[in-house]
Amino acid sequence: FFFQAEDGIRDKLVTGVQTCALPISYVVSGVKDFDGPDPGRWTEPVAVLKFDTYPADCELALRYLVPNFVAKPPLKTLTVRVNGDTVGTATVEKDGDQFVRFPVKASQITRQGFTMVELSVDKPYKDAGGNEYGVVLNEAGFEYPVGR
């Protein structure tokens, strides 16, 4: 399972996003199939992705679904970290499709090797079996400005 952008090789359930360069992402942990009508992957309370991407100023773009039962109180927060640095947070209080972008500095991207992205949801939804869930991840990728 991986995200790949712009070159026509895509996971059938999750796509990459970007405008320049070709970041490739692999799931390290915390992502499982979404058993619902929309394509995507459930995140566990903490999900980790690794990207092979270019070290330049960019934005991390995420598109995810918040099912109505996940959006119910208590208020939850999605925290996004790149190589351990928090690049942004978003509340998980409204159900439906969500799209966020967070600026990432070139210094936060690994120059050689993989750049690690962590998505964590505090106070995750817990089902009757005790399984914990975050959000349904549909897209994740780094976007680089064109023409700089």
Residue in the structure block whose two tokens are 């490739």: 24
Kindly report, residue by residue over 66-106, the tens digit of the pLDDT.
999 899 999 999 999 999 999 999 999 999 999 999 999 99
| Whole-number pLDDT of residue 113 | 85
* Calpha distance 146→126 (Å, rounded): 42
**pTM of the prediction?**
0.80
| Whole-number pLDDT of residue 53 | 87
Secondary structure (DSSP) of 20-88: SS--EEEEEEEEEE--SSS--EEEEEEEEEEEE---SSEEEEEEEEE-HHHHSSSP-EEEEEETTEEEE
Residue in the structure block whose two tokens are 């690794």: 50
| Whole-number pLDDT of residue 147 | 62
* Calpha distance 84→4 (Å, rounded): 22
* Calpha distance 102→86 (Å, rounded): 10
- The whole-number mean pLDDT for each consecutive block of 10 residues of the chain, a chain of 148 residues, reads 36 39 66 66 89 91 91 94 97 94 96 92 91 89 78
Q: What is the three-class DSSP state of 95?
A: coil
